[in-house]
Amino acid sequence: MYIEDIRLINFRNYNSLNIKLNKNMNIFIGKNAQGKTNLLESIYICATGGSFRTNRDRELINFYKNEAYIGANVNFNENKRLIEIKLDRNRQKRVKINRVELDNLKELNSGLNVVIFSPEDLKIVKDGPSERRNFLDLSISQIRPVYKYNLNRYNKILYQRNNLLKSNKSKNDIINLIEIFDIQMAKTGTEIILSRKEFLNRLSNESYIIHKQLTSKDEKLDLNYISNVDFYNKNKNEIENNFLKKLKSNVRKDLMTGSTEIGPHRDDIEIKINNMNTRAFASQGQQRTIVLSIKLSQVEIIYMEKGVYPVLLLDDVFSELDGERRKYLSKSFNKMQTIITSTDLLGLEELEKMDKSIFYIDEGEIVYKE
């Protein structure tokens, strides 16, 4: 799978851009604030329907314009797909594939798959659980469209349940009314737990192997799914029943806090190296290597699911890695189309012999191409 060309109109700091990409390696060089990350963001939106930087679509439209457009021609096993996104300040974004408008963004998932690695991703290791949940949600949504649907549904039910907990109805009324939400939450939440469990299993196995190869010190990377609903060695029905029971027994506490304590919206991933928790002790370099292992595993999982490799997006991270890891990572560049951004060519020497295109960006324009 690869992107043949990209067209941007009024997207962030791009007025009008029209470029052909190399099937293999693409390098975008530019000083700070010229539009490197913006370009990767536009590609990411074609794949997932949303940005990795913001939930507010309006921010994507150029400050001085009311509409924006992203278009990408994707080659998928020699089948061509034109993905088009239209953003408008006054209405919801619209997505077209091969000129047919989608009524549901879910379908976008089969169009283009990407894996992005940016400095922000270090948060997966060092920040709080919500970063890790977010990573899980975005990764699973790309390969399981129904997951996105379940997640939206779950969040809606959770929101309604919390509203009820905070309402000025009597305690007894609330406890009577809440059961409808509990049943739905347990049902949808169990689907989420099962998907996360399955994905993490695979991610853990893959990244264990990759991390070992990446570290000469033979670090054992271990990812564990943490949930306050007991899922271990349990089938779907058992998880759902546990979930429901726990919601019920916790309702008085929930009433006091006005929020729901039980459920996958509080899940986490425990990341350990040689049995030690990384959040507390991992060095910057170790954090980067862990994220690299995780991202390369995500690449392999997409390959196993789709039979083709995704497009790999590396935002300013390649030159930050040390020589050994750069070498390892560059081996995977032969498998898939890769798009790298950097402020200069220093640290990109490994890529010298590759078939590639180099683009120089200046204030939202490609001023030079090699």
Ligand X SMILES: Nc1ncnc2c1ncn2[C@@H]1O[C@H](COP(=O)(O)OP(=O)(O)OP(=O)(O)O)[C@@H](O)[C@H]1O
**Which residues sit at the interface with Mg ion, rule CB under 5 A?**
36-37
CA distance 104 to 88: 17
- If the CB atoms of residues 91 and 236 are measured against ligand X, the closer one turns out to be 91
Q: Does 93 bind ligand X (CB under 6 A)?
A: no
C-alpha 338/C-alpha 293 separation (Å) is: 17
Q: How far is the CB of 159 from ligand X (least distance, A)?
A: 29
Torsion of CA 28, 30, 34, 36, to 10 degrees: 30
Nearer to ligand X, 241 or 343 (CB): 343
213: number of Cβ within 10 Å: 12
Window 63 to 92, contacts with ligand X (CB under 6 A):
63
Selected range binding ligand X among 61-69, 233-241, 281-289, 318-326, rule: CB under 6 A = 61-69
Task: Tell me which stretch binds ligand X (CB under 6 A): 32-40, 79-87, 216-224, 304-312.
Answer: 32-40
**Is position 30 an interface residue for ligand X (rule: CB under 6 A)?**
yes
The CB density around residue 344, as the number of other CB atoms within 10 Å, is: 10
Other C-beta atoms within 10 Å of 95: how many?
22
Q: Does 33 bind ligand X (CB under 6 A)?
A: yes
Q: What are phi and psi of 26, to 5 degrees?
A: -130, 130
Cα–Cα distance between 118 and 350 in angstroms, integer? 19
In SS3 terms, 113-142 reads as CEEEECHHHHHHHHCCHHHHHHHHHHHHHH
Q: Which residue of 22, 62, 109, 215 would you call a contact of ligand X, by CB under 6 A?
A: 62
- 124 to 153: interface string for ligand X, x by CB under 6 A: ------------------------------
Q: Is 42 in the site for ligand X (CB under 6 A)?
A: no
The binder of ligand X chosen from 2, 6, 9, 35 (CB under 6 A): 35
Q: 241-252 burial string, b = 16+ CB within 10 Å, else e?
A: ebbbebbeeebe
**Single residue of 59, 127, 238, 362 touching ligand X by CB under 6 A:** 59
Smallest distance from Mg ion to CB 319, Å: 13
Partner touching 222 among ligand X, Mg ion, none, CB below 5 to 8 Å by kind: none
DSSP state for residue 261 in the 8-state scheme: -
Which residues contact ligand X (rule: CB under 6 A)?
A: 12-13, 30, 32-38, 59, 61-63, 316, 343
